[in-house]
Amino acid sequence: MKVYLDDLRKTPDGWIHVYWPDDEAIALLKTEQVEGISFDHDLGDDERSTGYGVILWIKETAATRGFAPPKITVHVNGLFII
């Protein structure tokens, strides 16, 4: 699956839209079925974490548990930046 973490934009075809870093994005990453994840460049609600928190989770889990990170992109106004 491909995960699109964004608080405002429309989800591209073939992606699963999630709004919240901890509650949704990390929960899907834990399934180890995510082949790609794209982060909004300015994800909103800092009180509930941000895309940066997901990146830190990926880094920590890869280093300590051998988690294989998915392909990571950042999107700006619907354009993907690798």
**pLDDT tens digits along 10-63:** 899 999 999 988 889 999 999 999 999 998 866 655 666 678 889 999 999 999
What tokens does 40 get?
Answer: 């909004």
Domain boundaries of the chain, sorted by first residue: 2-81
pTM for this structure?
A: 0.85
Determine the Cα–Cα distance for residues 14 and 53; give it in Å rounded to an integer: 24
CA angle 33, 39, 45 (to 5 degrees): 115
pLDDT at 79 > cutoff 70: no
Cα separation, 43 vs 64, in Å, equals 27
